[in-house]
Amino acid sequence: MNKKVLFAILATVIIIGAIIGAFAVSKFFGEEKKLIIIDFDTAAARENVERLIENGPRMSGSEAEELGAKYIVSKYEEAGLSDCHIEKFSVNMFDVHRAEVSLVQYGPLLRVPNPMVSEITFTHFEDFVLQGYSGSYTWQTFRDDLEVVVIGNGTDPTSYDIAQGKACIIEVEENSPGNTDVYEYANDAGVKAIVLHNLWRGSDVGYPPMFKTNQAYEDWSGGFPEIPFFMISREGGVTMKQHLSDSKLRLDFDVEKGPMDICVAVGEIPGSESTDKLFVIGGHHDTCYNTLGVVDNTVGPALICEMAAQMAKYKPKYTIRFCTWGGEEEGLYGSLAYFDEHKDELVGNVKMYSNFDMSHTDITRTNGFTITTSINSSIKTFEKIRDKVVSSTSELDKYNINIRWDDGKWSGSDQWPFASHDIDVTNAWGGGCYEYHTYMDDITHLNEESLQIGARIVGSYIINEAC
Number of residues that bind Zn ion (CB under 5 A): 3
What is the closest distance, in whole angstroms, from the C-beta atom of residue 279 to Zn ion in the complex? 21
Of residues 357 and 449, the one with the C-beta less far from Zn ion: 357
List the x/- string, 390-409, binding to Zn ion by CB under 5 A.
Answer: --------------------
Q: How many C-beta atoms lie closer than 10 Å to residue 192's C-beta? A: 22
What is the closest distance, in whole angstroms, from the C-beta atom of residue 234 to Zn ion in the complex? 24
Of residues 267 and 326, the one with the C-beta less far from Zn ion: 326
Burial class (CB in 10 A: 0-12, 13-18, 19+), 440: buried
Q: Binding of Zn ion at residue 65 (CB under 5 A)?
A: no
What is the closest distance, in whole angstroms, from the C-beta atom of residue 297 to Zn ion in the complex? 4
* Three-state secondary structure call for residue 250: strand
**H or E segment at 23?**
helix 3-34
Of residues 176 and 298, the one with the C-beta less far from Zn ion: 298
Q: At what angle do helices 63-79 and 299-311 cross, to 10 degrees?
A: 20
**Torsion from C-alpha of 271, 276, 278, 282, nearest 10 degrees:** 110
What is the closest distance, in whole angstroms, from the C-beta atom of residue 358 to Zn ion in the complex? 6
Which amino acid is present at 320? Answer: I
List the x/- string, 91-110, binding to Zn ion by CB under 5 A.
Answer: --------------------
Of residues 251 and 358, the one with the C-beta less far from Zn ion: 358
What is the closest distance, in whole angstroms, from the C-beta atom of residue 296 to Zn ion in the complex? 4
Of residues 113 and 432, the one with the C-beta less far from Zn ion: 432
Of residues 285 and 321, the one with the C-beta less far from Zn ion: 285
Strands (E), 270-412: 274-284, 318-325, 350-356, 368-373, 400-405
Q: How many C-beta atoms lie closer than 10 Å to residue 430's C-beta? A: 25
What is the closest distance, in whole angstroms, from the C-beta atom of residue 286 to Zn ion in the complex? 8
Of residues 290 and 310, the one with the C-beta less far from Zn ion: 290
Within positions 274 to 333, which residues make up the interface with Zn ion, using CB under 5 A?
296-297
What is the closest distance, in whole angstroms, from the C-beta atom of residue 324 to Zn ion in the complex? 12
What is the closest distance, in whole angstroms, from the C-beta atom of residue 300 to Zn ion in the complex? 7
Of residues 195 and 440, the one with the C-beta less far from Zn ion: 440
Q: Rounded to 5 degrees, what angle do the CA atoms 95, 206, 247 make?
A: 70
Which conformational region is residue 277 in: left (phi greater than 0), alpha (psi within -120 to 50 degrees), or beta?
beta
Report the distance separating Cα 365 and Cα 384, nearest Å.
27
Report the distance separating Cα 162 and Cα 191, nearest Å.
9
Report the distance separating Cα 74 and Cα 71, nearest Å.
5
List the x/- string, 337-366, binding to Zn ion by CB under 5 A.
Answer: --------------------x---------
Which of 351, 275, 267, 269 shows the shortest CA–CA distance to 301?
267
Q: Binding of Zn ion at residue 145 (CB under 5 A)?
A: no
Catalog residues that contact Zn ion under the rule CB under 5 A. 296-297, 357
